[in-house]
Amino acid sequence: MSDTSTQTDTIQIDTTRPGLARMYDYLLGGSENHLVDRTLVDEIAATDPGVFAAARANRDFLIRAVTHLTEEAGIRQFLDIGSGLPTQDNVHAVAQAIDPAARVVYVDNDPTVAKHAESLVRGEGNIEIVLGDVSSPQGILDDPRLRRLIDFDQPVALLLVAVLHFVPDSGDPWAAVRLLVDALPSGSYLVLSHVSLAELDELADTTDRAFEKRNIQLNANRTKAQISRFFDGLDLLEPGLVETTQWRSAETAPRKVSDMVIYAGVARKN
């Protein structure tokens, strides 16, 4: 891994406000989180205790998707935007267990991720960490760390897993996805999941209030139809856009783990 000190050295991490990456780490049972992070999660869990299982199911979807793409589709390059802290079953651990030559670029706009990631994956080959925002996709594509590792003449799996609900409509996440996908060659894939609280009044209210109180904008009121627009122009693999637990699950009757709905899908660019 190259030295990421230039992108994180001058950044101060604010641990008085909740951080999305640290909250997600708590949801997954990790220890890279603080009381402010846990308090916000616990507020939401008071209405839906299943949010912990929902986060796990989302992560399990990501692992199944990466396994499928590495094993069955021959993908060896992964661009994981909104990657979270690389503490739990990372993309590189999953892909490199199948082929040690698999290359992974992690991108997150939370400086905690870049700071922690540097030490957590120090010395591991074929991994880069980029501090970047999916709302500025061209900035991500132009980053020299990404350019060093990703060959845009070869297929890439673009991962946007549980991140786009943090981008408001005004930031046009659909245009950001289009720009990223347009940069990839044919044979590439999009792996995406998105929380949808559109039909869940009580949980949506609790969740919106909890986030708003901390000045964090959540855009989880998007419907399945709005989320499916992220895949426009791509070929959705079977079983299409479904709840995370239903995406190629080994379970014959996938459980409903939470009130929270997280839609997930994988699509190919032809």
Ligand X SMILES: C[S@@+](CC[C@H](N)C(=O)[O-])C[C@H]1O[C@@H](n2cnc3c(N)ncnc32)[C@H](O)[C@@H]1O
DSSP state of 257: -
What gap in Å lies between CA 12 and CA 105, rounded to an integer?
23
Q: How far is the CB of 108 from ligand X (least distance, A)?
A: 5
Structure-block tokens of residue 42: 């616990």
Minimum Å gap between C-beta 153 and ligand X is: 25
Residue closer to ligand X (CB basis): 166 or 211: 166
Instruction: Give the number of other CB atoms < 10 A from CB of residue 188.
Output: 25
Which residues of the chain form contacts with ligand X (CB under 6 A)?
20-21, 24, 58-59, 62, 81-84, 108-110, 113, 133-135, 161-163, 166-167
DSSP, residue by residue, 239-256: T-SEEGGGSS-SSSS---
CB of 84 to ligand X, least distance (A): 3
Residue closer to ligand X (CB basis): 62 or 234: 62
Task: Give 222 or 270: the residue with its C-beta nearer to ligand X.
Answer: 222
* CB of 10 vs ligand X, minimal distance in Å: 19
Nearer to ligand X, 153 or 188 (CB): 188
Instruction: For residue 243, list its beta bridge partners.
Output: 263
**DSSP run (H or E) holding 52:** helix 51-71
Closest CB to ligand X among 157 and 186?
Answer: 157
Of the candidates 220, 216, 168, the residue with the CA atom closest to the CA atom of residue 199: 220
Shortest spacing between CB 94 and ligand X, in angstroms: 11
Nearest to 107 by CA among 44, 150, 56: 150
Please state the length of the chain.
270
Which of residues 200 and 260 has its CB atom nearest to ligand X in the complex? 260
CB of 270 to ligand X, least distance (A): 25
Choice between 102 and 161, CB closer to ligand X:
161
The torsion angle over the Cα atoms of residues 12, 16, 22 and 26, rounded to 10 degrees, is 160
DSSP 131: E
For residue 68, CA distances in Å to 61, 249, 266 come to 10, 12, 10
Inter-residue contact 36 to 215 (CB < 8 Å): no
Please, what is the minimum distance in Å from the beta carbon of residue 33 to ligand X? 12
